[in-house]
Amino acid sequence: MQKLKDKVAVVTGGGSGIGLGIAKAFAAEGAQVIITGRNRVTLDKAVVEIGFNTVGLQGDVSNLADLSEIYSTVAKKFGRLDVLVANAGVYVIGPLTSFTEEMFDKVSDINFKGTFFTVQKALPVLNDGASIILVSSTVNGKGIPNHAAYAATKAATRSLARSFSAELIDRRIRVNALTPGPVHTPLFNTVTSSAEEAEAMAENMGNFTPVKRLGTPEEIASAALYLASDESSFMLGSEILLDGGLRDL
């Protein structure tokens, strides 16, 4: 029995990395999946890679008009939304002494503002009893140099899971945080200047974890599938931490 049979799911930032892994898992379990992202080419490639039950809608989560258009399309095509994964995010890091206002606005607008309004704008189309998954990061509870603004946005995301759950409980909408550690995704390419530097950074991040490796999108997707399904029906306002022991060991 497929865990998400006949469910309609939106995964923001679903064109690559963790979002793509989640979208693949959801589609394999019977969901109609809508992935969103800013890059049309990346979305089209992801739709082909997933292979079935998938639609790609272009949009920027920090742009409220884009979000409204995405959910309007979902409502017209599918009539409802059963699962929402607020995964879209950017990895902007740098020393406190040289962190610019532009960098701060970029990471805040997408990771915090984008997550907040991704949920708010979805409310009219979300089914009662729906599941919302907010993708945070293990740095939401750990101090790491050069990560102050990024970590703060991910701590805000974790906080939103609690507050949203309390506010939406009358509709039986569950909101939980999915909190990965370092995962092998194209993210490292966004903060390095070459493929070699990206691979070196990924290796160093993996060695920083007690298990001495990066996580995989498939491992994170397995947890997302649990949160999306009825198996987690007693879980709300909470957090699943998958970080190779990074935070606690």
Question: Catalytic residue numbers?
Answer: 150
Q: Which two tokens stand for residue 68?
A: 């409204």
Distance CA(220)–CA(65), nearest Å, equals 30
Distance CA(55)–CA(131), nearest Å, equals 20
Percentages of the chain per state (helix, strand, coil), in multiples of 5: 50, 20, 30
Residue 175, number of CB atoms within 10 A of its CB: 26
Q: Measured in whole angstroms, how far is the alpha carbon of residue 238 from the centre of its chain?
A: 15
Per-residue 3-state assignment (H helix, E strand, C coil) for 56-92: EEECCCCCHHHHHHHHHHHHHHHCCEEEEEECCCCCC
Per-residue 3-state assignment (H helix, E strand, C coil) for 88-149: CCCCCCCCHHHCCHHHHHHHHHHHHHHHHHHHHHHCCCEEEEEEEEEECCHHHHCCCCCCHH
Of the candidates 159, 152, 204, 154, the residue with the CA atom closest to the CA atom of residue 180: 154
Of the candidates 57, 1, 50, 55, the residue with the CA atom closest to the CA atom of residue 30: 1
